[in-house]
Homo-oligomer: A and B are copies of this chain.
Amino acid sequence: MTAAPSRTELQDMLSRIDCDVRATADWGVPAQYIPQLAQIEPAQLGIAICDASGECFTAGDASVPFSIQSVSKVFALIAALGRIGDQLWYRVGREPSGTSFDSMVLLESEAGRPRNPFVNAGALVVTDALLSGRAPKQALAEVLGLVRALSEDDAIHIDADVARSEQATGARNKALAHYLDSHKNLREEPEKVLGTYFHQCAIEMTCVQLAMAGRSLAGLPGAPSVLSETRARRINALMMTCGHYDGSGEFAFRVGLPGKSGVGGGILIIAPGRASIAVWSPGLDEYGNSKAGTRAAALLSEATGWSVF
């Protein structure tokens, strides 16, 4: 275990990593399936770190808002576990899938019980649990309220244009929802679950806001107390084994920290007891994870020695 880096060291590290990654200029390609994501300039990189001292450090485009997409699955999971507790696990598993985020293959062989809450099928079940008979507006208000509370920032909102675009193009997610429905693993109408899910994914945040929101999972002093230590640890465990789809093993190997990525290019990374980290760069690698963001995370882990391993 390494000694915690000093304030100045941490700020220097961030600047150096920001420089290094930008110099490489290997940005990847932003998600192409909706115009709002496809149009984004790929050569952007933001990093934000909130550490145990209560301070936040930033580099690059840390204040540029982006669509958090699948990172929202973490917040929806916290909310759904808060609402229905561990009985959620009867309906969704806790194992890595070995397949891509929207695969139907394992879903079929396992009779409609998604592998984990971070593949799309699993996230739809979580959103269904979150609804629990309520209107989409109420469930969304709960997730958004949770995110605002965790970030201590009431300006965070849902980008309705992005949600609408997802709705228009989300054929694969629609297939997954109806498939879950065919196995009676949705309580609500598939269309209702989908509408809620597309809005939840369209939450817009900056790296600073996202790093703030992760402090509770990292168990940092002063973070809002919205979930037990045990639950936080377990969600971190899921982020470690399943947070990057079919690239989860690689992220664990290279970065050594639990993380959850989104197709908008954001990654929330937890260094338990030490820091909450958000990186963002819109270009993606072959698994749908931020390319420059992952590189920044790997450099940061190396520089800080924060790997949990």
Contacts and interface: CB of A to CB of B under 8 A. Distances in A.
Q: Which bracket fits the contact residues of A?
A: 35 or more
Contacts of A109: 105, 109
Indicate how many identical chains form the complex: 4
Contacts of A307: 233, 237
A238 interface: yes
A246 B95 CA distance: 7
A193 interface: no
Nearest to A184: B171
A116 B250 CA distance: 11
A233 B256 contact: yes
**Dominant SS at the A interface?**
helix
A22 interface: no
A249 B241 contact: yes
Interface string A179-196: 101100000001000000
Nearest to A107: B104
8 contacts: A93-B249, A96-B96, A104-B105, A104-B107, A105-B105, A105-B108, A174-B181, A238-B253
Interface of A: 1, 93-99, 103-109, 115-116, 171-172, 174-179, 181-182, 190, 232-234, 236-238, 240-242, 246-250, 252-253, 256, 258, 270, 272-273, 307-309
